[in-house]
Chains A and B, each alone.
Chain A
């Protein structure tokens, strides 16, 4: 399982636990990170830049430290 997919799972868990509007949160994180969360799957290859951007977006939108 890739690290990117792991990050996606943790974001989804946060959305579910906080009962947030998933579409809106995914959209905001996707726009900030430049990556569509829908296309991140277990086989998505990791890249350091993509991981860093996703972490930063999650922090800004959800205040979630990954």
Chain B
């Protein structure tokens, strides 16, 4: 390889362009693949968060409608107003299994203020008389209106609706409360989206002993020590490895965040998380979202491979075409001029330089041909002079 040759330099420059071009294409495609994966992850997080809010609002509406129907029942109202617990239980107990089958797992009656306490728990009738003193209890006492929101209590994390019940004379007889465990939302979310979910609860708001007791009662493994800042209350997968979050739940942005993209075997996943607030606005938990993006990722990779192959083929064809054009219009004609000039000096006065076009090389060919004529004429004259 002659490194002084323009042809070699042009070839090297083109090869460098090909390498840079392909490198840029690969880099861009990788960037777009990462960005697309990020977009899918953001979509998974925001979509799940919106769906969670929709489910939450739907369940609040359902519990509000149930409470509307209940307080219109005068027998229930009067039994509650008379603080006749066994009568109230007798009237409401048949309804509880139906409501439970619809997801309403908590149903309580509370005595009015002052000293508001649990009067009857339909889901645990033997336990009553305790003071819960939660945010929603204080709110319903303050507003005497319907209060709804998430409440993380010792008994678990639930979306709750609490409202006042008035006796026949219009005085506050107490409060009725319905609640649905948020844990069941993860399964509804999975049914709707196909993503995997995990409900995390901040340990700051969960009682350690209660968690151990409830784990024993529900015959589930006590996972308190699995993570430092939170416990996994419910999840849609048996694979605990996918629920990885090392940060503080308090630091999760309101709109949620994408954590990472990762692979497991041939599958590609993205993880995200969004916070769950209680009625008081505290970040008491979070929903972990895992989306399998293998299909989309495979498509993106396939597109990347096709684009890369197309680019390589186009570049190589372009280089071949360009070199061919350079050879045809420049290098071959220059070599012919060099060849003709060498032969001219060697005594061949017959090799004519044909002007092939009117371009820059053509101008050189014309100039050289004119020069050749002058040279030949001079040679003839000098030869004649020598012979004389």
Contact = CB atoms under 8 A, between A and B. Distances in A.
Interface of A: 22-28, 30-31, 36-39, 41
Nearest 3 pairs between A and B by C-beta?
A27-B346, A26-B346, A27-B342
Contacts of A41: 386
A31 B382 contact: no
B159 to A, nearest CB: 95
Contacts of A38: 347, 379, 383
A25 B346 contact: yes
A25 to B, nearest CB: 7
Nearest to B346: A27
A21 to B, nearest CB: 8
A39 B345 CA distance: 11
Contacts of A31: 341-342, 345
Contacts of B346: 22-28, 30, 37
B116 interface: no
B343 A23 contact: yes
Of the candidates B342, B348, B383, B386, the one having the most CB atoms from chain A within 10 angstroms of its own CB is B342
Contacts of A24: 342-343, 346
Given A27-B341, A27-B348, A39-B382, 13 more contacts: A23-B346, A23-B348, A24-B346, A25-B346, A26-B345, A26-B347, A27-B342, A27-B345, A28-B342, A28-B346, A30-B345, A31-B341, A38-B379
A23 B344 CA distance: 8
A17 to B, nearest CB: 18
Contacts of A26: 345-347
A28 B343 CA distance: 8
Contacts of A30: 345-346
B interface bracket (residues with beta carbon within 8 Å of A):
10 to 19
B307 to A, nearest CB: 51
Nearest to B344: A27
Interface string B329-372: 00000000000011111111000000000000000000000000
Contacts of A28: 342, 345-346
Of the candidates B341, B345, B379, B386, the one having the most CB atoms from chain A within 10 angstroms of its own CB is B345
Contacts of A39: 382, 386
A28 B340 CA distance: 11
A38 B387 CA distance: 13
Contacts of B343: 23-24, 27
Nearest to A41: B386
A26 B341 CA distance: 11
A39 B379 CA distance: 10
A2 to B, nearest CB: 15
B77 to A, nearest CB: 120
Contacts of A22: 346-347
Nearest to B339: A24
B371 to A, nearest CB: 14
Contacts of B379: 38
A16 B118 CA distance: 124
Of the candidates B341, B344, B346, B383, the one having the most CB atoms from chain A within 10 angstroms of its own CB is B346
Contacts of B345: 26-28, 30-31, 36
A14 to B, nearest CB: 14
23 contacts: A23-B343, A23-B346, A24-B342, A24-B343, A24-B346, A25-B346, A26-B345, A26-B347, A27-B343, A27-B345, A27-B346, A27-B347, A27-B348, A28-B342, A28-B345, A28-B346, A30-B346, A36-B345, A37-B346, A38-B379, A38-B383, A39-B382, A41-B386
A6 B382 CA distance: 22
A27 B379 CA distance: 14
Contacts of A23: 343, 346-348
Nearest to A30: B345
A51 B221 CA distance: 103
A36 B348 CA distance: 12
A30 B348 CA distance: 13
A19 B386 CA distance: 29
Nearest to A31: B345
